[in-house]
Amino acid sequence: MPAPRAVLDTNVWLDLLLFDDPRAASLRQALASGEVVAIGNNECRDEWLRVLRYPALGLDEARCIALTDAHDALLQPFDATASACGNRPETALPRCSDPDDQKFLQLAHDADASWLISRDNHLLSLARRCRREGLFEILTPEQWALRSTPPACDRSRL
């Protein structure tokens, strides 16, 4: 059985690769082990490259290249035109109030992802609707970790 697919928004990639955020540690481990596959496309990658060069991050070119290499190593590229998933009947996707974030919704849909993992409030506000319509789940990295962690064994029953 193939590993479940996840789409990560740019802020989550920053948490994973630049800030080494401990709240995303279990996601980082799942990606590194292949337990979960991160899916991306050219549009999302272009945003990653653009954000890395924001002056507020203060990254030099060598660091941007290293972060891009780390990003690409964890990412499985997805091309909707070459995929059978891209040919399935269209489901009406919710419209994100931030048009720049619509690409993540579209990619999660086209790639048949299980999750869209985000910290963006515009995307997170659509979680209930996506769940209700039987689409992918939209979760923060912390929510994803709670859902993917098996329940602890209750030793009192042994």
pLDDT of residue 35: 95
Q: What is the CATH number of the domain that holds 42?
A: 3.40.50
For residue range 124-151, what is the model confidence (pLDDT) as tens digits? 999 999 988 889 999 999 999 997 554 4
Give the C-alpha distances (Å, rounded to integers) separating 69 from 62, 66, 72, 139: 11, 5, 5, 25
**Contact criterion met (CB below 8 Å) for 89 and 15:** no
pLDDT of residue 99: 76
Q: In whole angstroms, what is the distance from residue 129 CA to residue 108 CA? A: 14
Q: What range does the domain containing 145 cover? A: 5-157
| Number of domains comprising the chain | 1
Q: Mean pLDDT across the stretch 79-85?
A: 64
The whole-angstrom distance between residue 20's C-alpha and the CA centroid of its chain comes to 16
Q: Is residue 90 very low, low, confident or very high in pLDDT (cuts 50, 70, 90)?
A: low
**In degrees rounded to 5, what are phi and psi of residue 25?**
-60, -45
